[in-house]
Amino acid sequence: MSATSLNEIVLFELPARSGATQLLAELSSSHLAWMERGDEVSVVGVLLNSDDGDLACLLRSVETWVEQQGLLAIRFEVDGRTYVLQPTLTARVHTAA
């Protein structure tokens, strides 16, 4: 019997519950996803699919979503490590133009 390891789950931290609800809706069509509400932040958890490139694809999708929402960055955790995801400089330049 295999258990889900930490590197199969990605956690995205959002400052507002409404943003977490929107991200959850965005990701639920392609991944098993859930939301945990906290007092200061909400967390959207995503179970990675078995595809080799799923993490990269997921991060690109969330990066696009972050840019569309006008957020500067969000934190995410994978494999027990915390990272910051922010839209690329090119994406920010296009939205400013």
Q: Which residue type sits at 56?
A: A
Higher pLDDT, 76 or 38: 76
pLDDT tens sequence across 41-84: 999 999 999 988 999 999 999 999 999 999 999 999 999 999 99
3-state secondary structure of 86: coil
